[in-house]
Amino acid sequence: MPTYVYACKDCEHAFEIVQAFSDDSLTVCPECNGSLRKKFNSVGVVFKGSGFYRTDSRSSSSSTAPAAPAAPAKAPAAAPAKTASSTSA
Q: Does 10 bind Zn ion (CB under 5 A)?
A: yes
Q: Which of the ranges 13-21, 49-57, 59-67, 73-81 carries the binding residues for Zn ion, by CB under 5 A?
A: 13-21
Q: Which of residues 34-63 bind Zn ion (CB under 5 A)?
A: 34
How far apart CA 41 and CA 52 sit, in angstroms, is 18
**DSSP character string of 49-76:** -HHHHHHHHHHHHHHH-TT-TTS-TTS-
Radius of gyration of the chain (CA): 20
Q: Judged by CB, which is closer to Zn ion: 32, or 75?
A: 32
- Give the binding site for Zn ion (CB under 5 A): 8, 10-11, 13, 29, 31-32, 34
